[in-house]
Amino acid sequence: MQPRIKAILQMEPSEETVKAEGWVRTKRDSKNVCFLEVNDGSCLKGLQCVIDKGVIPSCVLDRIGTGASVLAEGKIVPSQGGNQKTEMAVTALTLIGECPADYPLQKKRHTVEFLREKAYLRPRTNLFGAVMRVRSSMAYAVHSFFQENGFVYVNTPLISASDCEGAGAQFQVTTLDLENVPKTEDGKVDYSKDFFGKMANLTVSGQLEGETYATAMKNIYTFGPTFRAENSNTARHLAEFWMIEPEMAFCTLEGDMEWAEKFLKYVFSYVLEKNSEDMEFFSKFVLDGVVDTLRHVIESPFAHMTYTDAIKVLEPENDRFEFPVKWGVEIQSEHERFLTEEVAKRPVIVTDYPKDIKAFYMKMNDDGETVRAMDVLAPRLGEIIGGSEREYRYDVLIKRMEELGLKAEDYWWYLDLRKYGTVPHAGFGLGFERAVQYVTGVANIRDVIPYPRYVKSCEY
C-alpha cells in the first residue's frame, strides 16, 4: 500500500524513495522540467511532482495530461517554488491510465450546474472533494456522538407498509406487471398478487419502527436513506436523502430539544477540528465566513419560541413575505429564514405547532389545538430538524387517528406499544444533506450528495 498524498505532504525531506499515486490535476512544462500536480482525494492540495526531462523520456511525458492516473516515485525535497513546503523530485514515472483531451474537467473553474451534469467526475474537483470529505466526517461524527452516549444503532426497513408522516408522498414498490395490472372483482388493484401480498412503499421515515426499539432499549438512533415523492423542486429537497433519527424513551420534548442541540453542536465541532483545511476552503470560495458562523452557533445557546409566538413576530412583517402568515398556516422557508436571520441571528427551535399541520403521532397539548412538536430552524436553510414528543396515551392516539381517517388496523403494532408498558418518549429527524449544506455553505442540496435524485432526474 502506498501512502496517501495527505501523508506525503506532511513528510520531511529525506533520502528515502516514496511512491505516490493519483490523478494529474495540472501539468506545466518548461524547457527542461515538467511539473505535475497529483491529487488522490485525500486532501485539497496535490503533490507537486518535479520531473527532469532528462530522467523521464518525452514519449512517456507527452502522453500524460490533466486527468491521467500515474504512479510517481522519487524523493521528498524542499520546494523551490513558494506554493508548497516540499515537492517530489521524480526518479521514475508510470502512466497508468491515459486521459485524452476531451476530458470534461479542464483547468478553469466550472459552474456547479455544469458539474452536476458530470456527477461521475465531479469528486475530482476541489469543491466536491472537500464536500465529500466533510460529509464523510460528519457521518462518522453522527455515529460517534450516539455511540459515546450509549444509543443503539438500529437499521429500520427501507420497504415499508406504513406511512409514517401520513403525507402520502411515497414511492410505491411493486413487482406487478404495470401493463397488465391484476384487478379484484370491484375493479381495484389486487395487491394480494403483488410481491408482499399487500401494497408496499419505500420508507419516508424509520421513526415508527424506531419507536418500537426505543421502548425496549431506551435510546436508539437510525441513519439511513429515506425517500419522498414530493414535487418540490427546491435547493433543499431531494427525493432520496439520508436521515438520522434518534428516539429516546422516558423522555419528553424538553429532553428531545436538549439532545438535538447537543448533537448538532458535536457534529459541527468535530468537522471544524478534523476538516479545518476543507472548511477554510468553503469560507474562502463558497460562503464567506462560514467557519466563523459555525463557531458562533457552537458557542451560543439556540433560541426557543412557540409557534404562536413565532406567528406574533411574523404577522406584522407580512408585507415582505410571498406567503403571508396567520395562526394555523405552515411556516415556510422564507418565514423560517426571517426568524433565524433577522430575529434570533442563530438557530431557533420552534415548538407547539397547531395539530392540523403536523403528523398524527405527536403528543397533544392540554389546549387540544397544539402538539408537542419541535423544529430546529437554521439561518440560510430553514428547517434542518423535525421532531416531537410522541403521543403515548392509547385513547388519545386512537382518537387522533380516527380524526385523520387513519385505520387502526394498519398501525396495530404501533398502537400495541401504547398498551404494553407505554412510556413518554420523543425523537427527531435530522436531514443529513441539509446538515452538510449548513456546514459547507453549499447553496444547493443537489451538490452535497453524490448522485442527487429529484423530480424528473435520476441520472447515473
Window contacting ligand 4AD (CB under 6 A); options: 101-109, 133-141, 239-247, 302-310: 239-247
Q: Identify which of residues 173 and 243 has a Cβ nearer to ligand 4AD in the complex.
A: 243
230 near ligand 4AD (CB under 6 A): yes
The nearest distance, CB 238 to ligand 4AD, in angstroms, is: 4
CA distance 239 to 230: 7
CA 352 centroid distance within chain: 26
424 near ligand 4AD (CB under 6 A): no
Choose among 59, 48, 131: nearest CA to 87: 48
Q: Which does 135 bind (CB under 5 to 8 A by kind): Mg ion, ligand 4AD, none?
A: none
Q: Identify which of residues 51 and 244 has a Cβ nearer to ligand 4AD in the complex.
A: 244
With 0-12 / 13-18 / 19 or more C-beta atoms within 10 angstroms meaning exposed / middle / buried, residue 258 is exposed
x/- string (CB under 5 A) for Mg ion, residues 382-401? ----x---------------
* 3-state class (DSSP) for residue 98: coil
The nearest distance, CB 17 to Mg ion, in angstroms, is: 56
CA distance 408 to 211: 17
- In the block, residue with C-alpha cell 406567503: 323
Size (the chain), residues: 460
The nearest distance, CB 332 to Mg ion, in angstroms, is: 12
- The beta strand positions in 17-149, using DSSP E, are 17-29, 33-39, 47-52, 69-78, 86-97
The correct pick among 145, 151, 213, 241 for binding ligand 4AD (CB under 6 A) is: 241
The correct pick among 105, 243, 271, 310 for binding ligand 4AD (CB under 6 A) is: 243
- The beta strand positions in 58-104, using DSSP E, are 69-78, 86-97
Tell me which DSSP letter residue 174 carries: -
Give phi and psi for 449, each to the nearest 5.
-130, 140
441 near ligand 4AD (CB under 6 A): no
Grid cell listed for 301: 445557546
The nearest distance, CB 353 to Mg ion, in angstroms, is: 10
The nearest distance, CB 372 to ligand 4AD, in angstroms, is: 11
Instruction: Centre a 10 Å sphere on the Cβ of residue 94 and count the other Cβ atoms it contains.
Output: 12
87 near ligand 4AD (CB under 6 A): no
- The beta strand positions in 267-313, using DSSP E, are 303-306
Q: Which of residues 380-409 bind ligand 4AD (CB under 6 A)?
A: 383-388
Q: Which of residues 200-229 bind ligand 4AD (CB under 6 A)?
A: 205, 207, 228
CA distance 378 to 26: 39
Window contacting ligand 4AD (CB under 6 A); options: 116-124, 130-138, 153-161, 426-434: 426-434
Q: Identify which of residues 57 and 450 has a Cβ nearer to ligand 4AD in the complex.
A: 450
Grid cell listed for 17: 524513495
Size of the site for ligand 4AD (CB under 6 A): 23
Query: Which residue ranges make up the site for ligand 4AD (CB under 6 A)?
Result: 164-165, 205, 207, 228, 230, 237-238, 241, 243, 245, 383-388, 427-429, 431, 433-434
Interface residues with Mg ion (CB under 5 A) are 386
